């Protein structure tokens, strides 16, 4: 499903270039839930941005389900994100002028595949039903996070990229949302790549990689 080969990514830092990912390799096929941990600044979000085709590597190749996304044009990348990806990033990027229900339906509408019953079941499971007519600015951080999760799953994407999906939740809600995330991804056959600082959450994935010094290493718990 995901094949990353010799990927390098660097950023300009003053007069120097700072290498973030160095000849990074990753090959995951049968594992459905992949967790990535690493110190702050190690490059986890950078890696997710490459997998989301919002940024390109300096060199190397990235394949998702046989699509060579590292070579995509802007319009191919747009299509890929719209059709195949669910995104839960640290900034929730909810649309301010749409209520909760319309925010959640948005990606499914673009793909003309709004399954109202399924979306209502997502709302129920995430405890959002009572909030469906509210505007994003009237929600707490944790509520916005759950809306972002429901929105990411609404069109049953092939791949869900989640950056700290439980970061704004208390322990009880964090557990609940993590359970739901794993369960819904399994149910919809959605491949999950999860970036987290929580070792407890990472250990629940099928495989756990640590990103350090620009490379990933498989953790054997």
Ligand X SMILES: Nc1ncnc2c1ncn2[C@@H]1O[C@H](COP(=O)(O)OP(=O)(O)OP(=O)(O)O)[C@@H](O)[C@H]1O
Of 42-50, 93-101, 139-147, 200-208, the window that binds ligand X (rule: CB under 6 A) is: 42-50
Could you tell me how many helices (H) and strands (E) the chain has, helices first? 7, 10
Of the candidate spans 43-51, 113-121, 125-133, 213-221, the one that interacts with ligand X by CB under 6 A turns out to be 43-51
Q: Toward ligand X, which CB reaches closer, 10 or 121?
A: 10
Task: Name the residue among 24, 155, 138, 148 with its Cα closest to residue 85.
Answer: 155
Task: Please select the residue that binds ligand X; options are 26, 43, 53, 62, rule is CB under 6 A.
Answer: 43
Size of the site for ligand X (CB under 6 A): 10
Q: Please identify which residue in the block is written with the tokens 């700290």.
A: 164
Shortest distance, position 11 Cβ to ligand X, whole Å: 3
Binding-residue pattern over the window 45 to 64 for ligand X, x denoting contact by CB under 6 A = xx------------------
Structure tokens at 105: 């339906």
Query: Taking CB under 6 A as the rule, does residue 75 contact ligand X?
Result: no
Q: Contact region for ligand X (CB under 6 A) — 35-43, 68-76, 103-111, 175-183?
A: 35-43
Closest among 210, 217, 177, 206 to 196, alpha carbons compared: 210
Contacts with ligand X, 9-28, as mask; x by CB under 6 A: --x--------x--------
Least distance between ligand X and beta carbon 130 (Å): 32
Instruction: Give φ, ψ of 143 to 5 degrees.
Output: -65, -40
Q: What is the nearest approach in angstroms of ligand X to the Cβ of residue 40? A: 3
SS3 content of the chain, % helix, strand, coil (to 5): 40, 30, 35
Pairing of strands 191-195, 215-219: unpaired
Among 41, 110, 124, 218, which residue sits at the site for ligand X (rule: CB under 6 A)? 41
Q: How far apart are CA 213 and CA 21, in angstroms?
A: 8
The yes or no reply on residue 107 touching ligand X (CB under 6 A) is no
Which residue lies nearer to ligand X by CB, 89 or 101? Answer: 89
Determine if residue 164 is left, alpha or beta; phi over 0 gives left, psi from -120 to 50 gives alpha, anything else beta.
left
The whole-angstrom separation of Cα 166 and Cα 15 is 37
Q: Which residues bind ligand X (CB under 6 A)?
A: 11, 20, 38, 40-46
């Amino acid at each position: 499903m995901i094949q990353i080969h010799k990927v390098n990514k660097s950023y300009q830092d003053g007069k120097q270039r700072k290498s973030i990912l160095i000849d990074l390799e990753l090959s995951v096929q049968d594992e459905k839930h992949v967790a990535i941990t690493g110190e702050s600044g190690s490059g986890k979000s950078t890696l997710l941005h490459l997998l989301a085709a919002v940024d390109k590597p300096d060199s190397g190749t990235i394949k998702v389900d046989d699509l060579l996304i590292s070579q995509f044009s802007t319009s191919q990348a747009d299509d890929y994100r719209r059709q195949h990806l669910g995104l839960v990033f640290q900034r929730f990027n909810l649309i301010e002028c749409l209520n909760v229900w319309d925010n959640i339906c948005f990606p499914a509408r673009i793909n003309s595949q709004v399954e109202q019953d399924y979306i209502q079941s997502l709302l129920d499971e995430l405890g959002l039903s009572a909030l469906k007519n509210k505007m994003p600015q009237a929600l707490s951080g944790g509520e916005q996070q759950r809306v972002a999760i429901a929105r990411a799953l609404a069109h049953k994407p092939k791949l869900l990229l989640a950056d700290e999906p439980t970061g704004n939740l208390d322990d009880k809600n964090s557990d609940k949302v993590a359970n739901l995330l794993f369960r819904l991804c399994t149910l919809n056959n959605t491949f999950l790549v999860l970036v987290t600082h929580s070792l407890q959450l990472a250990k629940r994935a099928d495989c756990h990689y640590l990103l350090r010094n620009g490379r990933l290493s498989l953790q054997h718990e």
